[in-house]
Amino acid sequence: MSTKLDFEHYNEWIASISQLESPAFVQGLMIGQLCADTSLTEAQWLKQFLVEAGITKIKERWLQDLHQLYEHTLLGLNSDTLELELFLPDDTSTLSQRVNHLALWAEGVLHGLGLGQLPELNQELTELIQDLSELAMVEPPENVDDMAEEQYMQLYEFARLAAMMFYDQLHPMATKAPTKVASESVVTLH
């Protein structure tokens, strides 16, 4: 897969936009929109994202960052080897921070799905939406120990696979390359 994206770099500029909570939310929103709309191009996603976030002016380097995030995410969703990486703080961040951003990621996916025109979903995808709703409300554990870390990794893996399952089932004939910019039962941590 391509170069790993720097969460903190994205977090710095996203922090200046009050409507956006986290780079994790942005990626989740993108994944939800990509799942819900099989014909969504990068240019369409970017336009929807800017409108949804209430952004009227954006720096060119932020556009480049969003392009990288879009490309990185779409490559992961289309990977034959299950390479999707959730855009979350790395292991040097506290467990509380990682859990909070994972919840924001799930909230973003749900929001993105809600923006699209979803077909009628089978029972499996309906249950995934319910599980993602629970994940969006997960709380960081009071005691951080090896068990809490293991539970976080289970939640991370569940979220990653849920995104790929959603995308695969709603995009059975998805292309294996990103579209370039056109001109225009969830484990809980307690």
Range in 45-49, 54-58, 96-100, 105-109 the model is least confident about: 54-58
Q: Tell me if 88 sits within 8 A of 24, measured CB to CB.
A: yes
* Burial of residue 179, with CB atoms counted within 10 A of its CB: 0-12 exposed, 13-18 middle, 19 or more buried: middle
The CATH number assigned to the domain holding 136 equals 1.20.120.740
Model confidence at 31: pLDDT above 70: yes
**54 is a domain residue:** yes
Residue 14 in tokens: 């996203």
List, in order, residues 6 or more apart from 105 with CB less than 8 Å away.
Answer: 22, 24, 25, 27, 28, 86, 87, 88, 159
Backbone angles phi, psi at 122, to 5 degrees: -75, 170
Number of independent structural domains in the chain = 1
What range does the domain containing 24 cover? 7-170
pLDDT, tens only, 42-93: 999 999 988 888 888 888 988 999 999 999 999 999 888 878 999 999 989 9
**61 is a domain residue:** yes
